[in-house]
Amino acid sequence: MNDKAPVYQAANGKPNLLSGMQPSAGSLHLGNYLGALVNWTKMQDDFNAYYCVVDLHAITVPQDPAELRANTRRTAAQYLAAGIDENKSALFIQSHVPAHAQLAWVLNTITGMGEAGRMTQFKDKSQKNGVDSASVGLFTYPILQAADILLYQPKAVPVGEDQRQHLELTRDLANRFNSRFGNTFVIPEAHIVKETAKIYDLQVPEAKMSKSAADPKGLINLMDADNVITKKVKSAVTDAEGSIRFDRENKPGVSNLLGIYSLISGMSIAQLEDNFAGAGYGALKGELAEALVAHIAPIRNRAEELLSDPAELDRLLAKGAAQANELAEQTLATVYDRVGFVKAQ
């Protein structure tokens, strides 16, 4: 049953890439930006990139419909403002491509209950209100994610470290489908840039910066106003020692600030330690706040500008959806044929 023909080759010879984020808040934060989005923008030239806003995933936990709609457009606007170029990459909303839900169904049928039950993100997220009140959608979330990925035959999937397990499941499902039904899917690889900092919460620097943080002062948002950014940086938790040096274990707060500063400025940590030798935390926070405002303000302003013309934004998203649909439908048609569905006339 296994045919040996190459599974997929894009016409321009470049490998494909897919990634996405949930529209689960009104703004992306510095962790999403420095940990993922910056990397996405850098990969656009070497890959045929597909970037989606995963609204189907967002509803695995309850969402207010009006907020979800607004946050979906806001997330797309931030992708563009941060440098995703609609002429290089396909930028689209997941629910605009029906094949995601359709392939997810087929993949559901080749996933074991035990296999799905081992996913740690489900365990974490369902613990909040108890497993019994978690939705079945939250349980099958990683299978929908596998469908997102496999439809686009990507070689690379740029994500943060926390997504490694979902990528492993995706590879397992792709291999299983290929060996049961014949070569259909490219086996994707997680593209996790090691040195891409994990960004920590400014108030609880042992925890990762997250949309679901308890204290909003702990996260810097791309859509925050200048004075809000400055205030949050200045109230970041540090320590009593007083010297500016990188020591993740004993000085998590100061180390996080240095890590952020390094990523924003392009200066190495050693260089920063040198520059700030003998200076106090106030100086570090002051300079970092200034650098962050200078970096984030243009992104925020551009996103606001894009949001002020929703018709144009929707037109860009429709163009991206058309590109995405073309490839997704092709992959889905092969899958439907391989599993034995009668072709619709």
Which residues are the active-site residues? Answer: 125, 208, 211
Applying CB under 6 A, the residues found at the interface with ligand ATP are 21-22, 24, 29, 31-32, 35-36, 159-160, 162-163, 198-199, 208-212
Is 29 an interacting residue with respect to ligand LTN (CB under 6 A)? no
Residue 335 binding result from ligand LTN, ligand ATP, none, given CB thresholds of 5 to 8 Å by partner type: none
Q: Which is nearer to ligand LTN, 172 or 337 (CB)?
A: 172
> Which of the stretches 65-73, 157-165, 232-240, 278-286 binds ligand LTN when contact is defined by CB under 6 A?
157-165
Is 163 an interacting residue with respect to ligand LTN (CB under 6 A)? yes
What residue spans of the chain are helical by DSSP H?
A: 30-32, 38-42, 55-58, 65-81, 99-108, 113-117, 120-127, 136-150, 164-181, 226-234, 252-265, 269-275, 281-307, 310-339
Residues in contact with 339: Cβ distance below 8 Å, sequence separation at least 6, in sequence order:
106, 181
Is 119 an interacting residue with respect to ligand LTN (CB under 6 A)? no
Minimum distance from CB of 18 to ligand ATP (Å)?
12
Q: Which is nearer to ligand ATP, 89 or 178 (CB)?
A: 89
Sheet of strand 90-93, all strands in order from the earlier edge strand to the far edge:
90-93, 48-53, 16-21, 154-158, 189-191
Is 18 an interacting residue with respect to ligand LTN (CB under 6 A)? yes
Q: Which is nearer to ligand LTN, 17 or 202 (CB)?
A: 17
Residue 328 binding result from ligand LTN, ligand ATP, none, given CB thresholds of 5 to 8 Å by partner type: none
Residue 199 binding result from ligand LTN, ligand ATP, none, given CB thresholds of 5 to 8 Å by partner type: ligand ATP
> What's the length of the chain?
345
Q: How far is CA 237 from CA 35, 37, 64, 200, 336, in A?
A: 21, 26, 33, 11, 54
Minimum distance from CB of 216 to ligand ATP (Å)?
13
Question: How many residues line the site for ligand LTN (CB under 6 A)?
Answer: 13
Amino acid identity of 6?
P
Is 24 an interacting residue with respect to ligand LTN (CB under 6 A)? no
Q: How many other CB atoms are there within 10 angstroms of residue 165's CB atom? A: 14
User: CB–CB of 156/47 below 8 Å?
Assistant: yes
Residue 212 binding result from ligand LTN, ligand ATP, none, given CB thresholds of 5 to 8 Å by partner type: ligand ATP
Q: Which is nearer to ligand LTN, 39 or 255 (CB)?
A: 39
**3 state DSSP class of 318:** helix
Using CA atoms of 315, 318, 320, 322 in order, give the dihedral in degrees to the nearest 10: -140
Q: Measuring CA to CA, which residue among 200, 193, 142, 136 is closest to residue 171?
A: 142
Q: Which is nearer to ligand LTN, 145 or 262 (CB)?
A: 145
- In angstroms, the CA 322 to CA 42 distance is 23
> Which of the stretches 142-150, 201-209, 285-293, 303-311 binds ligand LTN when contact is defined by CB under 6 A?
142-150
Residue 157 binding result from ligand LTN, ligand ATP, none, given CB thresholds of 5 to 8 Å by partner type: ligand LTN
Minimum distance from CB of 314 to ligand LTN (Å)?
22
Minimum distance from CB of 187 to ligand LTN (Å)?
15
Per-residue binding string, ligand LTN, 48-67, x by CB under 6 A, is ------x--x----------
- In angstroms, the CA 321 to CA 308 distance is 21
- In angstroms, the CA 54 to CA 76 distance is 10
List residues binding ligand LTN (CB under 6 A): 18-22, 54, 57, 145, 148-149, 157, 159, 163
